[in-house]
Amino acid sequence: MRRLLPALGVAAVALAALPAAAAPFDIDILTRRPMTSPTTSDGRPKASAIPRETVSFSGPQAPGTIVISTSERRLYYVLPGRQAIRYGVGVGRPGFEWSGSKSITSKREWPDWTPPPQMLKRRPDLPRHMAGGIENPLGARAMYLGGSLYRIHGSNEPETIGQAVSSGCIRMTNEDVTDLYDRVRVGTRVVVMR
């Protein structure tokens, strides 16, 4: 059974029979039981890749647009022919969710990171500046969303992809953010939906 997600126009499996409290990515579709995430020895969730794939897309956005569904924890790069490339993403944790339309105003490879004052107030333990590189929390690439503190960026914590743990930025695996970075240009429209 299939239904159409009205906000995006993306075909998805009907989830009516799933337990109300469970999100679609927390349920084993065959057994309809909650999935347990494997953890590392220190208790953190192990990275589990969310495969990048080309999917049908019937939303109103033009090819070349990025559409982010924070409730799905997916990013869609709209292609011609009513298709999109779908990526798994990490999104803002409770209290840091947002929606709206922005555009990419700059792009950086292996970007430096300077936490904004608001973040330093919440987390005074953070460094004041960190040079780009594999240990940098912005990962391999960053696309800056004009008029905001937010970015679409890579991550040195791939286990957070599919989670709501950021301060509002959209996180991707370094492999996926590099793929997206090569496809988009400055000026690309980004639509974020809850």
Residue numbers annotated as active site: 153, 169
Q: Is 98 left (phi over 0), alpha (psi -120 to 50) or beta?
A: beta
Give the Cα-Cα-Cα angle 55, 178, 176 (nearest 5 degrees).
40
Backbone φ, ψ for residue 168 (5° rounding): 120, -20
Cα 62 to Cα 128: distance, rounded to the nearest angstrom = 39
The CA-to-CA distance between both ends of the chain, in Å, stands at 24
Task: Count Cβ atoms below 10 Å from residue 11 Cβ, excluding itself.
Answer: 13
